[in-house]
Amino acid sequence: MPKMPKKKCCVSKPRCKRCPIQMLKDGKLPEGYTVKKRKLVKVKKGSKKKTALAA
């Protein structure tokens, strides 16, 4: 099982493998999670992703 992302991005360059921003970019973020203001947050059930709204 892959490791969970960190709860907060440390803003280092280059980004570490568990950085939530990097995992979001690579598409490896676990289902039900997103990143807001460099922090890992859970998505509420019933909310839609931005990509789904743009289509």
- Report pLDDT for 4: 85
Query: What is the per-residue pLDDT for 50?
Result: 63
- Residue 12: pLDDT band (50, 70, 90) is confident
What 3-state DSSP class applies to 44? Answer: coil
Residue 2: cis peptide before it, omega within 30 degrees of 0: no
At 27-55, the pLDDT tens digits run 999 889 999 999 999 988 765 666 666 65
pTM of the entire predicted model: 0.68
As a whole number of angstroms, the distance between CA 9 and CA 20 comes to: 6
